[in-house]
Structure formats: structure tokens, C-alpha cells
Amino acid sequence: MSPVVSVEKACAAAQLAAPVLARMSPSQRADLLVVLADALDEARDQLVPIAMTESHLPQLRLSGEVGRASGQLRLMAATIREGSYLGVVIDPADPTTTPPRPDLRRMQTPLGPVAVFAASNFPFAFSVLGNDTASALAAGCSVVVKPNPGHPRLSATVMAVAQQALSGAGAPSGMLTMIDTDVQAGIDLVNDDRINAVAFTGSQQGGLALAAIAAQRPRPVPFFGELGSINPIIVTAAALAERRDEIATGFIGSFTLGAGQFCTKPGVLIVPRDQELHDLLAAQLDEAAGQSMLTDAIQKAFVAGVTERMNIDAVEVIHVGQTDPDTREVTPTLLSVSASHVSDHPALLDECFGPMAMLVEYDTDEQLTHLLDELPGVLAAGVQAQGDEPQLPRLLDRLASLAGRVLFNEWPTGVAVTWAMQHGGPFPASTRPDTTSVGSFAIDRFLRPVAWQSIPDALLPVALQEANPWKLPRRVDSFRSGDDGG
């Protein structure tokens, strides 16, 4: 039996499952997430060959990505077992205050059914059982997945594995369902009034179209979209003089990794004008091997983006990549432009998904300052520096205002799945700069606070009851659990 169902059936099932999931204890939901993680790991040998066929990604990368996806599920399980995600706050009644204070108890509650749109570039980690799904399920929300058209057979197989595992663990039917890959199904899903939030990873064009639908519904719902990013890295003059070879090698390795099909690719290197760097980068790129792109549509958009930039008079070509439309194989392209010309061609600061990057070269600190004022919101940004440059505090402050993650002498590809990770940023990197799609705090997207006032203890949610049966961390009368006053 196919795991793919109609939008109507998926949303109806999700609506029925949502209150059942919401009533479960964090520990019970954590157990289900671990069941999914175990099932994913056990099916690795079945799933990876399918993913290789559909995505053209190598076995080693995909096998590792299965581990990342199962690790995300386990991190979310650990997050909800720990309990602070509920944000429990208790202010006991106090008749001596002005005005008198009633008994107030506040905690986070699940939003209800969530639509998850899978990404093309991570067939496991941002797909059917990716972190959007993991964090929504952890929050106590049922999930309807819209699979990516780039890997339909893999998505169906992963969903079948997941549903079998959940059924065996006694999970509520409708906890996790999947619709078809076609565009209209996705539109219908966002329009369905039973969906209470949408999580999306993909193109800016597609994401904004769906965000508009979510906002224009008779009952608008939050749309959490990760839409792409250029992830600029600034190189100081001192760092370039001291580590030119190292910076060139690190930059090429990062922007060509996975054929440049990472949302964290450093698409822009902001660097002092330096012909020696040009020559060094060109020589290294001459040796770069071809890599396959994920889909024909992605390759077509990549070629169009490169061509558009190369046709700008102010742009200099450092290295021209080659494209094979039959195999979807491409080699890297590197362009350069003076910082003084960027304001005339703002499209140069748009993401070009694939193995293309741009050197933006500056001659003075004033040029650099002006350029930083023109940069869009990004997922990540950083500096390559020696550490004692006087302008570093100012540069880091400016980058922190643009980015969700700021790096020092590292490259942005590679996102750790941890409590402290922030994977989001100001528009156009994402539609909600106050959230993350990776790490423990990704769960916050699918929760909302509710306060209970003067409710008898026996009628309160378990997390708010006086005896604290789940042993949750709580703030009581302004003191945190474990503080001297609590």
C-alpha cells in the first residue's frame, strides 16, 4: 500500500492525531522519536541506494546524512525529555499585590497539524524525517509532509519505514502522513484550514509564493521558510597577506562542496583587491572535478544565474565552469566584481544555487563599510582575520546584525546539530529571523504560550500541577527550580 494519500485524507488524519499527541507526556513522544531514529538507521542499506539514484549524491555523503537525520530525531527526544522547552512559569496567588494577583500558570502548547515541505539538497536531513518533522513531532504536532519532487521514490520508502515503525510502537494513526509531490498538492495543503503552521526549505520564489498563501488564508498561519543565503566571508588585508594559500584552499573547498548545493555555501568572498589571489584561485579551480547537480531544474537555474552574472560588464571572469546537460555534471565558476559596482547591480548579492561564487573586492575601509550596508540578511557570515585587527569588533557587530551565525576563521558549510545552533537569519535568508530550523530550539516554531488562571490543581495540565509529576524545570514565583528561593 502506498504511503501517499490525498491532501484531504492527510489533513483529516492529522487533525484527529493532533490532540492525542498533545496529551502525551514528553517522555512518551521522545520514545516515538527514538523509534523513528532506530528505524531510519536500520533501513540505511535499503534507503541509500535509492537516494543515490534519485539525487546523484555519493554513497558516503548519503550514508552520513542518514546518521545526521537519526541524530536530529534523538536530539529532539533529548530536548523534550529535559523539559525546559515547555517554559513552565508559575506565579501563585498573592492578595497583597496591587492589584491582587490571581494564580497564574503559563506553558507552551503545540500548535496542531503542521505542513512540512521537504528540501531537494538533503534527501534525509531536511526531508520526510528531517529536522522540521522531528521538531514538530517533538512539540506534539502531527505532521503532513509534502515530499520534494527530486526524490519521490526515496520519500515514499522513508515514509513507509516511518509509518511501520510508528504503528508497531502504538503511535496514533495520522501522526505522520505524506501527500503527492505535485505543486498543486502543496498549494492545497497550505490552504487547508486544518493546517496550523508551515515549515519550508527551498527556493526564495517558491517559499514566498507559499508564504503569501499562508498569510492570505481566511485564518492566516505562521510560515517558517528557509529561502537561501549568500553567506559572505570577509577577508582582512592582514589575513590575506599571511594566509593567502590557506584561505584560497578553504574557500574553494567550501563553495564547491556538494556541487555548491548547500544553503550555507559561501557565495561571496569579500577581499582586498589582489591579483595573486586571482591567479591562485584560477589555478586550483582548473583542477576541480565535475560534480552532478540534484535535478535538471536546479541545473537549468544555475546555468541561467551564472550566465546572467557573466553578462554584466562590471564582472570579471576568473574561472569558467563547464556544464553537461546529459549527466547534470558541472565544474565550478568564479567571478569577481569591485565593491564599488555592487550597488549598481544588486542581483549580484542574490543566491546562485550551485558551484559558483563571487569575489567582491575592496580597496579601502570606506568601500568595505558601504558594502556591508548593502548586504542582505544571511544564514551565516564570518571573517578570516589574524585576530588583532582594530576593525574586527565593528565587523563582527555588523555581521551579527545580518546573520544568524557568525564565524571566525572557519567556513560556513557544515551545520552542527546541537542545542546552541542557530540556522536562520533576517530576510531573505528566512521568513522568521527569530527562529531556527536546526538544533533544539527548532521546536519553538511549533509551540505557543497559554496561561491558566485560577484553575483547580486537578484540572490543570500535568506540567502545571503543584506536585510537578513530570519533574520539569520551572520558574515559580520568579525563582527557577533549584535556585535558592525555589
303 part of a folded domain = yes
- CATH assignment of the domain containing 50: 3.40.605.10
Q: What is the mean pLDDT of residues 175-193?
A: 97
Residues spanned by the domain of 81: 7-227+432-448
Q: Is residue 475 part of a domain?
A: no
Domain count, the chain: 2
In a domain? residue 468:
no
Flag whether pLDDT at 80 surpasses 60.
yes
Is 33 in the same domain as 151? yes
In a shared domain, residues 257 and 138: no
243 & 199 share domain? no
Asked if residue 90 belongs to a domain, the reply is yes
pLDDT of residue 441: 97
Angle between helices 237-255 and 275-286 (to 10 degrees): 20
Residue 485 pLDDT exceeds 60: no
CA distance 337 to 346: 12
Whose grid coordinates read 558601504? Answer: 370
- pLDDT, average across residues 107-128: 97
Same domain, 50 and 190: yes
137 shares a domain with 36: yes
478: left (phi over 0), alpha (psi -120 to 50) or beta: left
Q: Are residues 214 and 238 in the same domain?
A: no
Instruction: Reduce the DSSP state of residue 291 to 3 states and report it.
Output: strand
Looking at the structure, do residues 204 and 150 belong to the same domain, yes or no? yes
Q: Is the pLDDT of residue 478 over 90?
A: no
- Percent residues over pLDDT 70 in the chain: 99
389 and 444, same domain (yes or no): no
Inform me whether the pLDDT recorded for 1 exceeds 70.
no
Q: Which residue is catalytic, options 54, 65, 226, 351?
A: 226
Q: What is the pLDDT of residue 479?
A: 84
* DSSP code of residue 480: E
Indicate if 77 and 221 belong to the same structural domain: yes
Together in a domain, 237 and 223:
no
| Mean pLDDT to the nearest integer, 64-72 | 97
pLDDT beyond 60 at 482: no
Residues 346 and 400 in one domain: yes
pLDDT in tens, 422-445: 999 999 999 999 999 999 999 999
User: Looking at residues 349-366, what average pLDDT do you find?
Assistant: 95
Find the catalytic residue in 11, 65, 141, 263. 263
Look at residues 408, 440, 475 and tell me which one is the last residue of a structural domain: 408
Average pLDDT across the chain, whole number: 95
Mean pLDDT of 198-213: 95
Is position 417 within any domain? no
Residue 2 has a CB neighbour count (10 Å cut-off) of 9
Would you state the pLDDT for residue 281?
Answer: 97
Q: Kindly state the average pLDDT of the residues 191-204.
A: 96
In whole angstroms, give the CA distance from residue 293 to residue 10.
Answer: 32
Give tens-digit pLDDT for 8-46: 999 999 999 999 999 999 999 999 999 999 999 999 999
* Average of per-residue pLDDT across 251-270: 96
- Does one domain contain both 179 and 211? yes
Cell, residue 246: 590557506
Amino acid at 300: K
CATH code of the domain containing 370: 3.40.309.10
Does the annotation mark 352 as catalytic?
no
The answer to the question of residue 180 being in a domain is: yes
Instruction: Band the pLDDT of 327: cuts 50, 70, 90.
Output: confident
30 part of a folded domain? yes
> What confidence score (pLDDT) does residue 484 get?
39
Whether 463 is in a domain gets the answer no
Q: Strand, helix or coil at 33?
A: helix
Active site residue 263: yes
User: With a threshold of 0.85, does the pTM exceed it?
Assistant: yes
